Amino acid sequence: MQSGPLSLENRAGELQDNGQPLLQIRDLKVGFAKSHGILPVINTANLTLGRREAIGVVGESGSGKTMLCRSVLGTLDRHGARVLGGQIMFEAHDLANAPESVWSKVRGKQIGYVPQSSLAGLNPVINVKTQMVEAITAARPMSVQDAEKEAVELLEVVRIPRAKDVLREYSYQLSGGMRQRVMIAAALAQKPKLLVADEPTTALDVTVQKEILTLISRLRRELGMALILVSHDLAVIEEVCDSLMVMYAGASFEAGSVSVTVHAPRHPYTKALHDSRVDTAERGKPLEAIAGEPPTIGSWPSGCRFWPRCPLGDDKCRAGDQPTLRHVAQQLTACIYAERMGDGHD
């Protein structure tokens, strides 16, 4: 075990389980405030995350995955959105529309963030050192020399070779994989209890994707962090996470442990996602695709939002509101016909 700022000894005291989940999102509603009213983007999202647990959030674009992350990171208002209902319990804090005084205890201290690699997570006009030092000193004032030493250690933790040289460089001088390693190192600066990674491997080479995922997976185990990993790729989540939450059109559709939910789904949408996977497809058989388009934000169909594309969809599905999660077998599902879906594998 290595010593230094991230060693397990340093955290041993903080990791006492008190039986409470680290993060519990209940019936979250998020919307954009527009001049003509409110445009909902998340309606009834539910998520429970234990300490040191890794949960994958999967869904198509527009399903509200990124907005879910932003509600946990406290950046909704920057994007003109706000929490309209529900709870986001993190430790003892309710982060739903929390005042700045609460956020200042959480931001940069207890929650780390790794953004999409396709976007520029590093500031292009200042070098890596300045950004690492900022991330370190944001919550723990210390001399620049000490912070630099810690920055080198952090870069070594994420397996960056020539860490001291990389500190002097700018984002445009680094490869995509290196940038993402730096982002992870910066996210670890405050030894967060929770790491939020929003599609951290999009736009990376396949081999680099694998490296980054392995790194995230290893670090969260070694450092005892909880992880929210957002992806549209079930294979990625299966590799890294313990549990899974499937989102569609702003709602939680299914949640449970990865092994059960992926292979014995109790929601037709999860099954459809699984059937359209490339990595497990049978050779020579045409790939399955989910028919139709996901609904556009704010113009969700009545009833279950998936019914227009669902093989099980009937008149009963169209009626009323989006069904809420309920226990079926070993998982939570929002499908009213979940019992019809057997335990069998396909």
Partner 1 sequence: MSTHQMAKLPSRSRFDAVAFGMGIIQNRIVSRLLRSLLVGFGVMTIAFFLLRLVPGDPVQLLLGDTGTPELVEAYRQMLGLDGTLPEQYLRYLGSVMQGDLGTSINSSVSVNTIIARSLPVTLWLIAVTIVLALALALPLSIAAAIYQRTWFGHTFRVASSILLATPVFYSGLLLLLLFAIQLKVAPVAGYRTTFPTNLNYLWLPALVLCGVMVPITARVLQSSVIDTLDQEFVETAVVRGLGRLTFTWRYLLRPSLAPTISLLGYMIGQLLSAAVVVELVFNLPGIGTSLIVEGVLLRDYPVVQGIVLVFGMIVVIVSFLSDLVSGWLDPRTQT
Where along the sequence are the contacts to partner 1 (CB under 8 A)? 73-75, 78, 80, 103-104, 107-109, 111-113, 115-116, 119-126, 130, 134-135, 138-139, 161-162, 165, 170, 172, 183, 186, 189
Shortest approach of partner 1 to residue 223 CB, angstroms?
Answer: 18
At residue 182, the 3 state secondary structure works out as helix
Going from the C-alpha of 326 to that of each of 239, 266, 267, 335, 339, the distances in angstroms are 26, 11, 11, 9, 11
CA dist 59 → 26, 170, 214, 229, 281 (Å) = 18, 33, 22, 12, 19
**In the complex, least distance from residue 273 CB atom to partner 1, rounded to whole angstroms:** 26
Number of neighbours of residue 38 by Cβ within 10 angstroms = 15
Q: How far apart are the C-alpha atoms of 248 and 139, rounded to whole Å?
A: 36
DSSP SS3 for 226: strand
User: Kind of pairing, strands 226-231 and 243-248?
Assistant: unpaired
The distance of closest approach from Cβ of residue 104 to partner 1 in the complex, given in angstroms and rounded to an integer, is 6
- Structure tokens that stand for 306 in this block: 């998936």
- Least distance (Å) between residue 189 CB and partner 1: 8
Long-range (24+ apart) CB contacts under 8 A made by 288-293 are none
Amino acid at 174: L
Amino acid at 82: R
Rounded-to-integer distance, Cα 165 and Cα 175, Å: 14
Least separation in angstroms between residue 122's CB and partner 1 is: 6
At which residue do the structure tokens 């999202």 appear?
45
**Phi–psi pair at 200, nearest 5 degrees:** -70, -10
**Closer residue to partner 1 (CB): 78 or 283:** 78
For residue 73, the number of C-alpha atoms closer than 13 Å in the C-beta half-sphere is: 23
Q: How far is the CB of 315 from partner 1 (least distance, A)?
A: 42
| CB 62, min distance to partner 1, A | 18
**Of the candidates 60, 23, 68, the residue with the CA atom closest to the CA atom of residue 41:** 68
Q: Which is closer to partner 1, CB of 103 or CB of 336?
A: 103
Buried b (16+ CB within 10 A) or exposed e, 264-282: bbbbbbbbbbbeeeeeeee
Q: How far is the CB of 171 from partner 1 (least distance, A)?
A: 8
